[in-house]
Amino acid sequence: MIAPDLRKQILTTALAMNERGLNQGSSGNISARHGHGLLITPSALPYEQCTPDDVVWIDGEDKVHGMRKPSSEWRMHANIYRSFPQAGAILHAHSMYCTALACLERSIPAFHYMIAVAGGDSIRCAPYALFGSDELSAGAVSALHGRSAALLAHHGMVCFAVDLEKVLALAVEVETLAHMYLQALQVAGEPPLLSRAEMDAVLERFKGYKP
């Protein structure tokens, strides 16, 4: 079996994603870079039923290896890895608060300084595209330019980090920010935002900080 320990880590992270309320059932997906390709959770199989053998290897030529079908979003994962060399792991989920904002086609602006955890002064929302499509992949890559997290309109969220532990932590942080932003909108409409200069100062302070 190729990379048995990494396969186990992927499944452990997928279970933790569901346990922390970031995802439900077999929706969402997690991958890790492996050589010139990636290892990704299988399609339509509850994580509780998965074994390391069920994790699918997709090589650098997009050839699928394994006894299961890969997640329908494998193209998005593959293209994110190709576009962002610093990405070592990717998490895509239909988390409640990120998805609520995504269904409103709203990005998350600089209402709180921790927006900088995703690398910029906003967390963008990519345009809607059919799940599993090249258009969805292209939109996600564009929304992630200069960022490590994005919303996907009428769909969910996606983020990347250097490894599985850090990508789960980032996803939790982004979902928390989405929750806070939605609550702020309910109380007073659009909240006041930090200026570009204020966010630049935060981003400078965040250099070297990896969630």
* Longest Cα separation, the chain: 54
| Per-residue pLDDT, 211 | 47
Fold of 4-206: L-fuculose-1-phosphate Aldolase (3.40.225)
Write the Ramachandran bin of 13: left for phi over 0, alpha for psi from -120 to 50, otherwise beta: alpha
pLDDT, the chain, mean: 95
pLDDT digits (tens, 9 = 90+) for 109-132: 999 999 999 999 999 999 999 999
| Per-residue pLDDT, 33 | 98
| Per-residue pLDDT, 208 | 66
Helix (H, G, I), strand (E, B) or coil at 44: coil
pTM of the model: 0.95
Helix (H, G, I), strand (E, B) or coil at 202: helix
Inter-residue contact 116 to 203 (CB < 8 Å) = yes
Mean pLDDT lowest among 24-28, 76-80, 201-205: 24-28
| Per-residue pLDDT, 207 | 85
Q: What percent of the chain has pLDDT over 90?
A: 91
Q: Is the pLDDT of residue 173 over 80?
A: yes
pLDDT digits (tens, 9 = 90+) for 127-143: 999 999 999 999 999 99
Q: Where are the domains of the chain?
A: 4-206
Tokens for 139, please give them: 């939109």
| List of residues 6+ apart from 28 with CB closer than 8 A | 14, 17, 22, 91, 92, 93, 94, 156
Q: Is the pLDDT of residue 71 over 90?
A: yes
Separation CA 61–CA 135 (nearest Å): 19
**The one catalytic residue among 73, 105, 135, 173:** 73
* Overall residue count recorded for the chain in this entry: 211
Inter-residue contact 55 to 12 (CB < 8 Å) = no
pLDDT digits (tens, 9 = 90+) for 10-66: 999 999 999 999 988 778 999 999 999 999 999 989 999 999 999 999 999 999 998
| Per-residue pLDDT, 128 | 98
Helix orientation angle between 4-19 and 164-188, rounded to the nearest 10 degrees? 20
Decide if 48 is catalytic.
Answer: no
| Per-residue pLDDT, 111 | 98
